[in-house]
Amino acid sequence: MLVSQTGRRSGSSPASFSGALAAVAAVALAIAQPGSAQPSASAPQADGPPRFPMRMEPDPRVQQRSYHFADTNEDLAYTVFVSSKVKPGTPAPLIVALHGYGGDSNFIVRGRLVDLAEEGGYIVVGPMGYNATGWYGSPVIVMGGGAVDPPNLTELSEKDVMNVLALARSEFDIDPKRTYLMGHSMGGAGTLFLGQKHPDQWAAIAAIAPAAFMMQPNQKDILAPIKAAHLPLLITQGDQDPVVPVANTRTWSAAMNDLGMEHEYIEMPGRDHGNIIADGMPDIFRFFAAHTKDK
C-alpha cells in the first residue's frame, strides 16, 4: 500500500471522461461488496448507454426513507443507518455518504461501511443527490453528451445533500464536532466540491476514486478553501481503476502536497473502481475517528 504518496506526479493530462464513463455501468454492477446481494440492474444495452438509475438490493440494516423536495414538488429518496450504540441524549457522529454515477445511496451505504459504522457508533445518511447523475453541485458530466437536464441540476443536487444533512440533524442528536462527508466516484467529486463550499460543516472529508475530471484544471482553487478551513482530506484510490485512472488521482495528491494541506493519499495495489470502496473503508473510518472539529 502506498500511503501519503503526496510527492508523486504523473505528468499526464486528465483522461477523457466520456470514454471512461462508457465503462461505468459495467463497473457499477461489480461493486457489490463480498457477501452482499448483486445489483438487479441489467448490463449495458447493445443499442445505447445503460438506463439509469441502476438498482442494488439494499443492505437490510439500512432504512429506506424519502422526503418532500419543495423546489420541484417531488419526493426524493435517501437512506439512513443508525448504529445500535447510538443512545438518546448522547451526541452521535454522523457520516454523509455520496454514491457514484448511475446508482443510488444503496451502492455505498452497505456492507463494510455499515459494519464499521455499527462498530464505531455512527449514524449514516445517503442522499440521492436529486437524481442518479446529479454530481452534488460539482460540474455535471452527461454520459453520451447532450444537455444537462434539468438545467439547474447542480443546484438541485447540492441542495438535496444539504437538506438530508439538515434532516439528520433535526431527527437525531448529532455531534457538530464529528460530522463527516465521504463519496465514491461521482460522489468523490461531490465530496471535494461540497467540502470546499461548506467547509464549516465537516470535521473531515474522504473521497474514494474521485471522478473530479472537470475540476482537475482548477484543483488548487478547489483545494484552497479546504486548506484555509484546516479541513482534513483523505483520498483513496485503486491502482487498477479503469474508470478513474490512478494517474488522474495522483495529480490531486501532488496538489495537496504542494499546498501543504492536512491530508492523506492512500493508493491500494490491485484495487479497481469497485473494490476500493470496501477495501479502503477501514482507513476512512480511522481517518474520521482521528479528526474532531476544534470549534
> Is 150 inside a domain boundary?
yes
Q: What pLDDT does residue 53 have?
A: 66
In a domain, 294, yes or no: no
In a domain, residue 41? The reply is: yes
pLDDT of residue 52: 62
d(CA 33, CA 277): 8
Domains identified in the chain, total number: 1
The answer to whether residue 8 is domain-embedded is yes
User: Identity (one letter) of the amino acid at 81?
Assistant: F
Stated length of the chain? 295
Assigned domain for 260 exists: yes
In a domain, 285, yes or no: yes
Residue 21's pLDDT is 52
How far is Cα 101 from Cα 131, in angstroms, rounded to an integer?
9
Q: Is residue 295 part of a domain?
A: no
pTM: 0.87
**Sequential pLDDT tens for the chain (295 residues):** 344 443 333 333 344 454 555 455 444 444 443 333 333 333 334 444 455 667 889 999 999 999 999 999 999 999 999 999 999 999 999 999 999 999 999 999 999 999 999 999 999 999 999 999 999 999 999 887 788 989 999 999 999 999 999 999 999 999 999 999 999 999 999 999 999 999 999 999 999 999 999 999 999 999 999 999 999 999 999 999 999 999 999 999 999 999 999 999 999 999 999 999 999 999 999 999 999 998 6
Q: Residue 73 has what pLDDT?
A: 97
Query: The CATH number of the domain where 225 resides is what?
Result: 3.40.50.1820
Q: In the sheet where 63-69 sits, what is the strand order?
A: 2-3, 263-268, 233-238, 204-208, 174-184, 92-98, 123-127, 74-82, 63-69
Q: Which domain holds residue 190?
A: 2-289
* Residue 81 lies inside a defined structural domain of this protein: yes
pLDDT at residue 54, rounded to an integer: 79
